Structure formats: C-alpha cells, structure tokens
Amino acid sequence: MAIPQLSPEERKAALEKAKAARIKRAEVREDLKAGKLTLKEVLDMKDDPVVGRMRVSTLIETMPGYGKAKAEKVMAELHIAESRRLRGLGERQEAALLERLR
C-alpha cells in the first residue's frame, strides 16, 4: 500500500489529530495512575475511538505496582496477545483482566 501524498494542510491536520489522540491517551493513563479513574471506567471507554486504540499492555503498565515484566506475565496468564488493543478485548478477557487487577 503506497503512502498517500498529502498537501501541507492535510499533513498538518493529520499531525494535529494524532497529537490530540496521544494527549488524550496520556490523560487517561495519568488519571488511572492517580486514582481518578478505575480500570473498569477505562475499559468502559473502549468504544471511544482514541481510548480503544490503547494497547492493553500499556494500560496494565500504568497500574500502580505494575511494570513491563508484570504486565507481560499478566497478559500471558490471561491469554491476551501482546498486540491486543482495548477495543479488541473480548468479554471474557475483559472480565478476567478486571478480576486479576482489582
């Protein structure tokens, strides 16, 4: 698939949209880390196009007391693929994740 040729205005708009998405995902992670949001609330936001594209591993790493190694271990235990995003979690995976990280 060829990379589309964008005009300078289209490129600038795309960059702004990407920046806004990164900022929103960072805010969600910060709120989760600070305790302003619960894991359940974040998982309920998975239908949001921006939040739904967040990787599950990144979300787990954001939780207090979890780092990369523990996140990988949890994902392996729950049979969640490394590349899985929030939007792609099934009901059973979501329930297992909530049970494991509560």
Residue type, 18: A
**pLDDT band with cut points at 50, 70 and 90 for residue 84:** very high
Give 4-29 pLDDT, tens digit per residue: 888 989 999 999 999 999 999 999 99
- pTM for the structure as a whole: 0.83
How many angstroms separate the CA atoms of 90 and 43, rounded? 11
Q: Work out the end-to-end distance of the chain between its first and last CA atoms, rounded to an integer number of angstroms.
A: 42
Give 14-69 pLDDT, tens digit per residue: 999 999 999 999 999 999 999 999 999 999 999 999 999 999 999 999 998 999 99
Among candidate residues 68, 54, 59, 69, the one with its CA nearest the CA of residue 101? 59
Chain-centre distance for alpha carbon 87: 8
**Average pLDDT of the residues of the chain:** 93
Query: What single string gives the DSSP state of each residue in 67-79?
Result: -HHHHHHHHHHTT
